[in-house]
Structures are given as structure tokens and as C-alpha cells.
Amino acid sequence: MLGSGLIQGLAVTAKNLVGSFHDPARYTNVEYPEVKTKLPEAYRNFPFLVTESASDPMGTLRCVACQICEKECPPQCIYIEKSKDKKPDATGKMQLFPAVFDIDTSVCMSCQICVEVCPFDAIKMDQVFEVATTSRFEALLLNRNQLAKPNTYYHSIHPTEAAEVDGRLAAERKAAEEKAKAAAAAKAAAAAAPKSATAAASATPPSTTPTPKPPAAPSAEAPKPPTPAA
């Protein structure tokens, strides 16, 4: 009958009107400046510099001022000046650090190439999106103090990626410690028995490359490794 469609339409809008007050599936608004949605982990925008400690960001920068990112950056928005002195890095090795590290965010295109090329996991992608400023020049050029953010922040924005990076860095640090220990032991052995030069030469290969050796031994027979494990 004429008008039945009108009543159906009115029922639809009435359901929406009432549902918007009690049904979260109908009313999905987030009132933005006060409430923010959780960004997806894969979201990325503008790089930042990772520091080990939040209390001493400039002292614990992972960046060693190798300038690879500066050279690789397609729009050339990174500017680095190396330091004159050295200090220990994340793995305990003495390294240079950036005296000046600037990123011009008006030029940066968030391509992540700096992150891909960094061998020290020192630069990572941030999740900032409220980047409006009142000035066109100074405020858009970020210095190292503004770029430095602690590792805990990295964990809060990209948890899985940060855990993987931390695991890798810990393994590297452990390997470096073992290597140092082995080198010290070798040195001590060499000092104890300086006459046998051949023994010292044969002791060094296993300490430098410990990983390729264990799979090389049981490669002759395949079913052998599971049996001792079981």
C-alpha cells in the first residue's frame, strides 16, 4: 500500500536514533582531541632517535653518527655532525656520537629508508601526527634533543618490532662479551704458554665463529640430533 515504504523508512531512522544512545555498534564516534583511538602498530610517521635511558637521553643515544642515513635519505632532510670524542655505545664499544642531528620535517617524506639502512637500530619510525606548528622554519626543523625518545617509548608504539630489536641487541652484546672473554682467556693462555704458538693459533677460530661449528659436526647423520634431545 502507498505509504508502507515511508513507515519502513521512519522505523529505520528511529532505530538509529534510539540505538545511538545504547548500542556501541551504531555509535562508534571518538571525540578526538580529548579521546584518541589506538593507532595500528604498523602506522609510521617521521623518524626519531632511540635512547637507552629516558633520564639521560643525550648520553645514551644509540646513534654513532655513521652518516649512512644522511647519505641515503632521498629528500636530504637529515643533517649530522660527528662528535670529536668517543663514548661507549649499546654494545659497550667506544663509538662516536652525533654532536648535531637535525631532521627537517617539512622535507621528510616518512619513507623509512633511514630506518632500513641504520646498522645500529638507532633511528626508528615514530607515530606522531599532530605536527602543526606556529612557525614555518624553526619549529619544523627538529634537533637531536627533540628527536631523542627513550626505548620504552619505542616499546609502547611498536611492541613486537621493539622486542625483536632488543633481543637482537642483547644477543650482540652477549656475543661481544663472550668474544672479549674468549680473547682475554686466549691472551691469558698465550701469556701462560708463550712458547707453543701453534696452540694459540688453533684456539682462536672457535671463539670468533662459534655458530657454524655445531651444525657442521652432525651433518653426516640426519636423525642423530633429535634422539639426545628426546
Per CB under 8 A, residues contacting another protein are 1-3, 5-6, 9-10, 12-14, 16-17, 20-21, 26-29, 31
Closest distance to another protein from the beta carbon of 26 (Å): 5
Closest distance to another protein from the beta carbon of 1 (Å): 6
Closest distance to another protein from the beta carbon of 27 (Å): 6
Q: Do 86 and 137 form a contact (C-beta atoms < 8 A)?
A: no
Comparison of 29 and 211: residue with beta carbon closer to another protein:
29
Comparison of 4 and 198: residue with beta carbon closer to another protein:
4
- Residues present in the chain in total: 230
Comparison of 5 and 226: residue with beta carbon closer to another protein:
5
Q: Do 140 and 104 form a contact (C-beta atoms < 8 A)?
A: yes
Comparison of 28 and 198: residue with beta carbon closer to another protein:
28
State the maximum Cα–Cα separation within the chain, in Å, rounded to a whole number.
Answer: 111
Closest distance to another protein from the beta carbon of 37 (Å): 16
Closest distance to another protein from the beta carbon of 14 (Å): 7
Q: What residue type is assigned to position 151 of the chain?
A: N
Taking CA atoms, 163 is separated from 78, 119, 145, 187, in Å, by 27, 17, 24, 35
| Alpha carbons 141 and 20: distance in angstroms, whole number | 44
Residue 149 has phi, psi (to 5 degrees) of -135, 145
Comparison of 16 and 156: residue with beta carbon closer to another protein:
16
